[in-house]
């Protein structure tokens, strides 16, 4: 039951990426329009990869997906806009025909355009025109996401400021929340493995387009390029730090453990902003299988999350304690599937609280039920959690 207007709902900050929060994002909308989604911009696979290579841009696919998950479906022309942003150009076609499809969008001849709200149609045409003008002559449009192309066009029109482009598109789509990349730096992820080797690139650890590494992941860090293993530092913006430090609740949610959740904690300043926030901070571990979390119990995943957050992205040893960056771990020990185990006593030994409640339903299994989790997080917002 929603007991207050969502316009005045709590500011819940999520460090996430990918599609793991799609259901939860939708479930939050009746409770709050003030959730803040800080997304990892370091993905190196899918349709974002050729855009990153061509434009030196951050990954935009997760930003587009989260925008659609939080958009107001009652907005005029929403179905047409959602269909256009989710549309992909055909793999089996000629380069000329794929380019012609983009020109049809800019000219208003694409079938979705007449069904869009006027302001959305105008933005679609202008952003696609900007993309076409900036597109390298040899850019391969096969399988390209139209929504991703529009975001790149919006980025070009916004002076290469992705946060501004996302804010404008969020307003057009009636997005009920705030979406930002945690940083706008064109960087990649390097994963140090338990066998002493290093793998560079998020796409090389997901198992979607490349075989999984033979060894488990020990650590993740930022690097400048896919062919350069040297660690790279980047500072979070003052605006993002303010979102974090002023939150009513901070949530490290389910999702790819290293490439989505921990990756967001790597920029300098993130950990300090988390520690400065007086609100409750909770970790919601994955239920089911996460290939990045191979062999990690919930307790060990918690320990590694705390270690990364306390390091604050500056490479210096921290004098902080786990309770500075985390208060509680949320689990469903009765129904939830945790392949490497829970070890909740070890979680408590870190000085943290365990919130153990039925969150997996028959409909949601093996995942957590979005409605139940949304209700819990809203209740925890503004709370002071007793630890241990």
Distance between CA atoms of residues 263 and 191, nearest Å: 10
Which distant-in-sequence residues (6+ apart) come within 8 Å of 7 by Cβ? 33, 34
| Residue 30 pLDDT exceeds 50 | yes
Instruction: Name the least confident of 20-34, 199-213, 222-236.
Output: 199-213
Residue 382: pLDDT band (50, 70, 90) is confident
Residue 320: pLDDT band (50, 70, 90) is confident
- Alpha-helical regions (H) of 199-265: 238-245
3-class secondary structure, 105 = helix
C-alpha 46, offset from chain centre: 15
For the chain, the straight-line distance linking the first and the last C-alpha, in angstroms and rounded, comes to 30
- Asked if 256 and 42 touch (Cβ cutoff 8 Å), the reply is no
Residue 1: pLDDT band (50, 70, 90) is very low
Q: Catalogue the long-range contacts made by 303-307 (C-beta closer than 8 Å, 24 or more residues apart).
A: 303/346, 303/350, 304/262, 305/252, 305/261, 305/262, 305/265, 306/350
**Bridge partners for 249 per DSSP:** 12, 280
| pLDDT the model gives residue 208 | 76
> Of 187, 202, 153, nearest to 17 (Cα)?
202
Query: What is the residue-wise DSSP string for 293-358?
Result: GTT--HHHHHHHHHHHHHHTTTTPPP---GGGT--EEEE-TTT---TT---HHHHHHTT-EEEE--
Distance between CA atoms of residues 265 and 270, nearest Å: 6
Mean pLDDT of 11-39: 94
- Asked if 70 and 175 touch (Cβ cutoff 8 Å), the reply is yes
Neighbours of 313 (CB within 10 A): 22
> Of 382, 374, 386, nearest to 278 (Cα)?
382
Pairing of strands 178-181, 188-193: unpaired
Mean pLDDT of 138-151: 96
| Residue 2 pLDDT exceeds 80 | no
DSSP-derived secondary structure letter, 88: B
Mean pLDDT of 293-309: 96
pTM for the structure as a whole: 0.94
Mean pLDDT of 202-209: 85
Distance between CA atoms of residues 168 and 121, nearest Å: 13
Mean pLDDT of 141-160: 97
| pLDDT the model gives residue 165 | 97
**Bridge partners for 55 per DSSP:** none
| Residue 314 pLDDT exceeds 80 | no
Percent over 90 (pLDDT), the chain? 87
Mean pLDDT of 294-323: 86
Residue 388: pLDDT band (50, 70, 90) is very low
| pLDDT the model gives residue 231 | 87
Please write the tens of the pLDDT for every residue from 231-269: 899 999 999 999 999 999 999 999 999 999 999 999 999
Query: What is the residue-wise DSSP string for 138-162?
Result: T---TT-BHHHHHHHHHHHHTTS-H
Mean pLDDT of 195-206: 93
Burial classification of residue 4, based on how many CB atoms lie within 10 Å of its CB (0-12 exposed, 13-18 middle, 19 or more buried): exposed
Higher-scoring residue by pLDDT: 18, 65: 65
Mean pLDDT of 21-28: 95
Per the prediction, the chain carries an average pLDDT of: 93
Please write the tens of the pLDDT for every residue from 333-374: 999 999 999 999 999 999 999 999 999 999 999 999 999 999
- Asked if 258 and 191 touch (Cβ cutoff 8 Å), the reply is yes
Higher-scoring residue by pLDDT: 211, 266: 266
Mean pLDDT of 2-23: 87
Phi then psi dihedrals of residue 348, to 5 deg: -65, -30
């Amino acid at each position: 039951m929603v007991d207050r207007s969502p316009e005045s709902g709590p500011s819940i900050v999520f460090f996430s990426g990918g599609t793991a929060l799609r259901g939860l994002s939708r479930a939050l909308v009746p409770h709050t329009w003030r959730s803040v989604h800080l997304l990892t911009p370091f993905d190196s696979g899918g349709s974002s990869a050729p855009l990153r290579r061509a434009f030196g841009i951050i990954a935009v696919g997760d930003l587009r997906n989260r925008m659609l998950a939080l958009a107001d479906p009652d907005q005029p022309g929403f179905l047409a806009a959602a269909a256009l942003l989710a549309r992909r150009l055909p793999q089996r076609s000629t380069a000329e025909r794929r380019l012609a499809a983009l020109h049809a969008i800019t000219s208003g001849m694409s079938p979705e355009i007449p069904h869009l709200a006027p302001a959305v149609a105008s933005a679609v045409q202008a952003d696609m025109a900007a993309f076409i003008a900036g597109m390298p002559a040899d850019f391969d449009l096969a399988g390209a996401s139209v929504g991703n192309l529009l975001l790149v066009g919006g980025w070009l029109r916004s002076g290469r400021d992705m946060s501004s482009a996302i804010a404008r598109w969020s307003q057009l789509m009636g997005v009920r929340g705030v979406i930002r990349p945690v940083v706008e730096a064109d960087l990649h992820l390097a994963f140090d493995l338990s066998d002493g080797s290093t793998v560079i690139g998020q796409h090389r650890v997901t198992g979607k387009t490349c075989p999984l590494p033979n060894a488990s992941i020990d650590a993740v860090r930022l690097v400048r390029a896919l062919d350069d293993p040297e660690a790279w530092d980047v500072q979070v913006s003052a605006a993002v730090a303010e979102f974090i430090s002023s939150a009513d609740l901070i949530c490290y949610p389910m999702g790819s453990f290293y490439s989505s959740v921990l990756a967001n904690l790597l920029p300098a300043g993130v950990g300090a902003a988390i520690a400065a926030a007086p609100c409750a901070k909770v970790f919601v571990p994955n239920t089911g299988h996460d290939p990045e979390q191979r062999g990690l119990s919930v307790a060990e995943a918690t320990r590694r999350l705390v270690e990364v957050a306390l390091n604050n992205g500056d490479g210096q040893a921290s004098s902080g304690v786990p309770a500075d960056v985390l208060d509680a771990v949320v689990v469903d020990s009765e129904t939830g599937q945790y392949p490497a185990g829970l070890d909740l006593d070890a979680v408590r030994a870190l000085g943290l609280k365990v919130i153990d409640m039925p969150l997996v339903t028959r409909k949601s299994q093996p995942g957590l039920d979005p409605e139940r989790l949304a209700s819990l997080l809203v209740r925890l917002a503004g709370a002071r959690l007793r630890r241990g």
